[in-house]
Structure 1
Amino acid sequence: MKNDDVEHWSLKHPEFGLLELFIGEPDALRRIDPDFPTSSKKTDADNSTEPEAQEVAEGDVEDEGASTKEDSEKFLKKLAEKLDDLDKKRQLLVRRDGVTIARYKSLENQKIDLGKSDATVKAGKYGGEMTLSAPYLGWTSNFLDSWMIEVKVKDDEGVVVFDPPEGSRAAKRWEAMEESPFKRWFYPLITGLGKGGWALAVIVLGPLVSKLIAWLLSFLPDWDINIPWPDINLPSIPWPDINLPSVPWPDWHMPEWMEPILRVLAFMADYSKVWVPVVIGIVVGLMAVKNNKKSKERKAKWQDEQVDGDQADSGQTDS
């Protein structure tokens, strides 16, 4: 289906049929699905204009030897693309064999249940059959949910990744990963880090910011404010004197080699909300590289089976 206003992802799965995702503004999606909800003047969530950690990190990875002029042109081009993305109110339409199975107001990460062949969504409504277990159709968008990074199907045999549409941001990202072994690992890693990367940056930059604030506050006058709080005499409670038996605990001293380990454990306990997403991000990045390799092998196998099937059908027709 040709529509310049819509980004079209598709995959022909041997078990789940033709799976399609259409990304665009509501008016454009309504040309594909007449029952798609009409756009509202006030969106449910305002798009932020803050730069995304993932996009900034990925965009900063350039090949060595590029001139300053080329860097400036690339920067302006990427900035224009990001501003254009933020201005658009993209929504999502999901279809299976031509039947609408989900509609969403944003590109926020979701997983659609593929185990129910008759799952549909009501006309003029958003929603879909979400799940956490395979088989499912899932996708990953960028931090601002302004463009799609990856779409995949997970079944009993593993993960199959959709080929990104030609000319899309995802296709350019994929081409960059194919050309550079470093980006092949770095991009999925940054995607997996997500908000954990921002939290890690806060830990690193936090002390510098606090010193800057303290330096600025040093220029403010020292106000001495005394509040005449009332003097309240609370009654004393005669607690009973209880003599507990003494326990002869063994005299044990912690070995010196354990001190660095305890410092690390104390840091991890204090910043668990930071390092847990970071570790998850690293695992997600490594799994993405592994899944992409297996995905290519499975899609190549499907193509070979399709060719063999077509040849068999042709042979029967000739006979």
Structure 2
Amino acid sequence: MEKWALNHPKLGLIELEVGYDSEFLELDPTWPEEPKEDEEIRPVTAESGLKERFGALFNNPSVRARILLNGQVLHRVNTAASGRYLLEDSVKEGELTGHNPGLDRAKPHVKVTANFFDEVLEVQFRQGSEIVIFDPPAGSRGEKRRQAMESSTIKRVGFPILAGLGKGGWAIAAIILASVFSRIVKWLLSLLPDFDINWPSLPALPQIALPTPSLPQIHLPTPNIDIEINLPALPAWVEFLLDYSKVWVPILIGIVVGLLALRNYRKSEQTKRAWHKQQRTQARADAASSKTTQADASENNSGDH
């Protein structure tokens, strides 16, 4: 089972658990239903190739997930898919929940990002403008992605941009496939022989002439305004962008999404550093208070003697 965890200074421990039926049944016998007797799980690790991952996707049982707050189950879902989950809801025994795309983002919630293989890549805590990214568990696909991003500045910038391009990639793929498909159709039509079909002529329909009323004609004076505005010619690069907007707009959206992801990562690191600073300050204050209490107790004991 894969476990993502974040200790929030106010809310407490936030957890995301990802696993199969048999793993969850060991934790909670009421959810999910008993797996089939012939159910086999093909193990997949962060080092598994595409062949093993595709085989697990089609042969393994569904990957389920739970979201907990301080040990209390808030959400149960049948697939570890991308989504947003409020940290205020609570499920009943055996109940399933789904992500809520229309939730109030000012409230504390968890944003889960997963790929096509239902592998969780990133988990974020969000509340308004506050964004904190969970540390990925050891051996997970998310940890491999994080290590790759931290190993190179190019990957740190490029991975989020590629992820953003993936969201707009369907538009680029549709444009390219449509062009290729139209060329294939034209090529197939060029292979067909030319032939004429003599369709039988249809009888002429009867013509009906209806009288039209003669209405009075009203001629209004029209002003003679001749204004010439000499606009400058558009630059060549502007004409290019206008002609190929269907291509560059999805790319631009992907780049913006990628840069936002990079900004969120930096904000998350700043927030974590602020949390650690607060924890150290609080720990020093608690230690000083404890020493003062012990000193007072020692003075009282010596005064009694």
TM-score calculated relative to the size of structure 1: 0.71
CA distance in 1, matches of 2:64, 2:279: 33
Aligned to 1:47: none
2:161 is the alignment partner of 1:153: no
Give the alignment of 1:254-265 within 5 angstroms.
255=231, 257-258=233-234, 261=238, 264-265=241-242
Q: TM-score, normalised by structure 2?
A: 0.74
| Alpha-carbon contact 1:108-1:145 (below 8 Å) kept | no
Partner of 1:306: 279
Structure 2 partner of 1:18: 13
- Call closer, same or farther: CA 1:221–1:162 in 2, change over 3 Å: same
Distance 2:34 2:259 in 1: 39
- 1:23/1:90 contact within 8 Å kept: yes
Partner of 1:282: 255
Contact preservation (8 Å) 2:2, 2:19: yes
Note the residue ranges of structure 2 that are not aligned, 5 or more in a row.
37-46, 295-305
Pick from 22, 29, 36 the counterpart of residue 27 of structure 1: 22
Tell whether the 8 Å contact from 1:106 to 1:145 is kept in structure 2 after alignment: no
The answer on 1:127 being equivalent to 2:97 is yes
Residue 257 of structure 1 aligns to a residue in which SS? Answer: coil
For the pair 1:94 / 2:67, whether they are aligned, the reply is yes
Contact 2:124 2:134 in 1 (8 A): yes
- Give the CA deviation at 1:101: 0.9
C-alpha separation between the residues in 1 aligned to 2:33 and 2:242?
A: 52
1:297 partner amino acid? Q
> Which position in structure 2 is the counterpart of 1:45?
none
The whole-number CA distance in structure 1 between the counterparts of 2:186 and 2:172 is 22
CA positional deviation for 1:103: 1.5
Q: Which has the higher contact order (CA 8 A, sep 6+)?
A: 1
Counterpart of 2:161 in structure 1 is 189
Structure-2 change in CA distance of 1:94 and 1:235 (3 Å)? farther
Indicate the residue corresponding to 1:213 in structure 2. 185
How big is the shift at 1:313? 3.1
One-letter identity of the residue aligned with 1:199: A
CA distance in 2, matches of 1:282, 1:232: 61
Q: Where in structure 2 are the equivalents of 1:241-252 lying within 5 Å?
A: 245=220, 246=222, 248=224, 250-252=226-228
List runs of 5+ in structure 1 lacking aligned partners: 1-5, 42-73
Identity value in percent: 32
Q: Let me know the Cα RMSD of the aligned residues.
A: 3.3
Who wins on radius of gyration, i.e. which is larger? 2
